[in-house]
Amino acid sequence: MGKDKIFATPQGTVADFSFDAKTASVFDDMLVRSVPFYLEVQRMMSELTRDFAVPGTNVYDLGCSTGTTLIQLDPILPEGVRLVGCDYSEEMLKKAEEKLTSHGMRHEYHLECMDFNKEVRVENASVAIMNLTLQFVRPLNRERLIQSIARGVNENGCLILIEKVLSRDSLLNRFFIKYYYDFKEASGYSKLEISQKREALENVLIPYRVQENEDLVLQNGFSECEIFFKWYNFCGYIIRKGAK
C-alpha cells in the first residue's frame, strides 16, 4: 500500500481534487489516515449488509474506489449474492480489479464505470452502499440520483450512506472541523498537507447537514432513516425501503 504524499510539497496553485492514477495508488492509505474510524465503519457496514443481503439479488457499492468494501463483504455474504462495484474513475476500477483478482473472490462480481452526476443503474438490489460518495455528486443531481437508487432497491432492502456532514450550529461546526484536522495531524499529515487538500476539495466535496441528507432520502423513495454512526462531522445512515 503506497503512502499518501500527494499534498506533501507546496503547490503554487492547488488543482481540484481528482480520483486519478496518482490518487488510486495511495487511496487505501489516504482513507485509513483521513477518515475517523474507517475500519470500524467498514465492519459495521459489513454487518448491516449481511443482514439485508438476499440470495438472488445484487449488492452494490456505488463509489467502490479500490474495492476494499467488496473484499470485506465477500467472505460474509450468503451464496447467490452478486457484488457490483461502480465508480466513475477508471484508475480506481483498475486498482479494484487487481485487488479483487488477488483476493480470489468467492462471489460473482462485476465492476462498472459510472458517472453518478449523469446516471446510475441499480437493479434487483437488496443493498446499495454509498461510502463517502454522495458528497462528491453535484447538489442539483442528488435528488434524481437517490430516486434512481430507490427504484433499483427491492422492497425491504436498504441504502447504507456514509457522509461528511455540517452542523446546524456554526460554532460547533468550527469545533468539529478543528477536531477533524487534529485527527489528521495525529495520523501523520502535516499542516501543509491538510491545508492544500482542504483547498483541493473546496469545490469538489459539498457536504449537507445531517437533516438535509435524511430529508433527501425520505422524500425520494425510502421509508426509514436511522443514524448508526456519528463522529463529529462524519455520519453513517441506514436507510430502509419498506414494503408498499
What the chain holds in terms of domains, given with CATH numbers, is 21-240 (3.40.50.150)
Q: 15 pLDDT exceeds 90?
A: no
pLDDT reported for residue 147: 98
Q: 221 pLDDT exceeds 80?
A: yes
Q: 146 pLDDT exceeds 90?
A: yes
Q: 171 pLDDT exceeds 80?
A: yes
Lowest mean pLDDT: which of 1-15, 96-110, 217-231?
1-15
Average pLDDT over residues 176-187: 97
Cα–Cα dist 78/132, whole Å: 25
pLDDT reported for residue 4: 87
Number of H helices, E strands in the chain: 8, 8
Cα–Cα dist 189/243, whole Å: 46
Q: 244 pLDDT exceeds 70?
A: no
Cα–Cα dist 89/19, whole Å: 6
pTM of the model: 0.96
CA distances from 168 to 2, 112, 133, 174, 191 (A): 37, 37, 22, 11, 26
Q: 215 pLDDT exceeds 80?
A: yes
